[in-house]
């Protein structure tokens, strides 16, 4: 094949994003039935029957006593910080995360202290707690990147020994576990995201998983402005409720999840087979420590590939593969943090190395069979390797370098 960067027609007619929503026709049909039900009941939001049903389903799937459905993961985290009394001091946060994880700390009046990662999991290296938790540290926030769970037993041990609270960003980790333990089961509250691009979606949405009944109650009060009864407000809450329509989409998706996961796993296996012989492309293993939902597929670009990671991504985009560099360049290198004095000398070598070489590829495809999608993406990656020097030169000429 010829690459689009050399003037060929793009390999894919339609753009293929990493975050293509997963909606089966059966899911859509069930969704419409549940929405009709909600209209007939004339109950559209405010802790309705669909929200409660969804909460029970999510809790039992994660072997957790409580799930509180929220408008999104960002507000779930914000309300968790409020419920736990985390309002000042420092928080050790994984730098390899979506920016909201750090931003919510700032919104809560806390100072994020960025931690390096464990290259096997891309999640917070537990020993960073020893290095970074100073006298003003109050909490630790690991993120389960790509649904690979952080080393929670060690994180809990080190945090407890220092009197630190733990809140976990499990945005990617629906239906994932580590050695059989699901998010919410390690003794710390965790929050999931149900954004449209996630393995499990409610358009926008999220949930807090916890075994603490008091905390679950606090989350339900806080998501509803802090109302404790009809006329009594006891806390500084917010509007973080999820609607019946969102819950309907979640409930409609549940019966499809087993097959969805198998399909995504087949996509993984196909990528593994196609890319196995390509020098310098190393896959990120997602199921080494437990179950994964396989929503993401990621490879590291090592020097033997010939072309640099950014050249590969640039070429993929020209062929309509919207590959992503998750979570490049890391929260610590985003201008909002990087440009402040406190963050100027932050050095996280493992994070910089991983985020400087990773590419996330599409696992679902718009308008084509997934087998053709995987074959096409793999062909592009093989061709970039074969034409690495030309590809690098082409990119330099485009950027005027």
Ligand X SMILES: Cc1ncc(COP(=O)(O)O)c(C=O)c1O
- Which residues contact ligand X (rule: CB under 6 A)? 72-74, 97-98, 100-101, 143, 169, 171-172, 193, 195, 206
User: Within 13 Å, how many C-alpha atoms sit on residue 288's CB side?
Assistant: 12
| Distance set, CA 138 to CA 87, 88, 113, 337 (Å) | 9, 8, 11, 20
Give φ, ψ of 360 to 5 degrees. -95, 130
Q: Which is nearer to ligand X, 97 or 210 (CB)?
A: 97
Minimum CB–partner distance for residue 86 and ligand X (Å):
17
Q: Which is nearer to ligand X, 27 or 201 (CB)?
A: 201
At which residue do the structure tokens 């965790």 appear? 190
Q: Which is nearer to ligand X, 270 or 360 (CB)?
A: 360
What is the secondary structure of 213-268 as a DSSP string? HHHHHHHHHHTBTTBSSSS-B-S---B-PPPHHHHHHHHHHGGGHHHHHHHHHHHH
Minimum CB–partner distance for residue 93 and ligand X (Å):
11
| Distance set, CA 143 to CA 92, 97, 243, 332 (Å) | 11, 6, 26, 15
Other beta carbons within 10 angstroms of residue 382's beta carbon come to 16
Q: Which is nearer to ligand X, 74 or 121 (CB)?
A: 74
Give φ, ψ of 69 to 5 degrees. -75, 135
For residues 305 and 385, the answer to whether their CB atoms sit within 8 Å is yes
Minimum CB–partner distance for residue 48 and ligand X (Å):
20
Minimum CB–partner distance for residue 190 and ligand X (Å):
11
344 by Cβ neighbours in 10 Å (0-12 / 13-18 / 19+) ranks as exposed
Minimum CB–partner distance for residue 104 and ligand X (Å):
9
Q: Which is nearer to ligand X, 102 or 275 (CB)?
A: 102
Minimum CB–partner distance for residue 170 and ligand X (Å):
8
Q: Which is nearer to ligand X, 190 or 319 (CB)?
A: 190
Indicate the pairing of strand 168-169 with strand 190-193.
Answer: parallel
Other beta carbons within 10 angstroms of residue 371's beta carbon come to 12
For residues 351 and 357, the answer to whether their CB atoms sit within 8 Å is no
Q: Which is nearer to ligand X, 143 or 246 (CB)?
A: 143
Minimum CB–partner distance for residue 74 and ligand X (Å):
3
Minimum CB–partner distance for residue 391 and ligand X (Å):
30
| Cα separation, 114 vs 392, whole angstroms | 33
Q: Which is nearer to ligand X, 3 or 58 (CB)?
A: 58
Q: Which is nearer to ligand X, 237 or 242 (CB)?
A: 242
Minimum CB–partner distance for residue 198 and ligand X (Å):
7
Q: Which two tokens stand for residue 150?
A: 């952080």
Minimum CB–partner distance for residue 252 and ligand X (Å):
19
Residues 6+ apart with CB under 8 A from 200: 174, 175, 192, 194, 250, 253, 254, 257, 293
For residues 62 and 183, the answer to whether their CB atoms sit within 8 Å is yes
Q: Which is nearer to ligand X, 128 or 169 (CB)?
A: 169
């Amino acid at each position: 094949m010829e690459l689009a960067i050399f003037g060929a027609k793009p390999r894919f007619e339609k753009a293929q994003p990493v975050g293509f929503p997963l909606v089966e026709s059966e899911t859509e049909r069930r969704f419409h039935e549940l929405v009709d039900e909600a209209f007939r009941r004339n109950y559209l939001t405010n802790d309705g029957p669909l929200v409660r049903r969804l909460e029970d389903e999510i809790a039992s799937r994660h072997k957790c006593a409580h799930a509180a459905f929220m408008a999104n993961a960002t507000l779930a985290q914000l309300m968790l910080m409020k419920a736990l009394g985390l309002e000042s001091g420092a928080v050790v946060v994984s730098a390899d995360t979506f920016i909201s994880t750090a931003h919510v700390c700032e919104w809560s009046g806390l100072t994020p202290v960025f931690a390096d990662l464990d290259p096997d999991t891309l999640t917070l290296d537990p020993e960073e707690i020893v290095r970074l938790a100073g006298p003003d540290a109050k909490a630790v926030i690991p993120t389960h990147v790509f649904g690979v769970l952080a080393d929670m037993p060690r994180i809990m041990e080190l945090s407890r020994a220092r009197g630190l609270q733990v809140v976990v960003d499990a945005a990617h980790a629906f239906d994932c576990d580590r050695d059989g333990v699901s998010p919410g089961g390690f003794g710390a509250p965790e929050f999931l995201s149900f954004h449209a691009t996630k393995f499990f979606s409610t358009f926008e949405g999220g949930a807090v998983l916890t075994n603490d009944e008091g905390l679950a109650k606090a989350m339900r009060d806080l998501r509803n402005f802090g109302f404790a009864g009809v006329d009594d407000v006891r806390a500084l809450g917010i509007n973080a409720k999820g609607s019946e329509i969102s819950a309907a989409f979640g409930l409609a998706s549940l019966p499809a999840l087993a097959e969805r996961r198998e399909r995504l796993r087949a996509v993984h296996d196909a990528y593994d087979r196609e890319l196995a012989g390509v020098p310098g492309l190393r896959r990120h293993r997602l199921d080494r420590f437990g179950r994964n939902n396989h929503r993401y597929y990621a490879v590291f670009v090592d020097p033997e590939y010939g072309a640099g990671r950014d050249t590969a991504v640039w070429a993929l985009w020209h062929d309509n593969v919207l590959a992503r560099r998750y979570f490049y360049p890391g929260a610590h290198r985003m201008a909002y943090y990087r440009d402040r004095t406190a963050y100027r000398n932050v050095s996280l070598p493992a994070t910089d190395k991983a985020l400087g070489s990773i590419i996330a590829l599409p696992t679902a495809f718009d308008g084509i069979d997934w087998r053709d999608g995987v074959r096409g993406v793999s062909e592009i990656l093989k061709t970039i390797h074969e034409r690495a020097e030309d590809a690098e030169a082409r990119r330099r000429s485009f950027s005027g370098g």
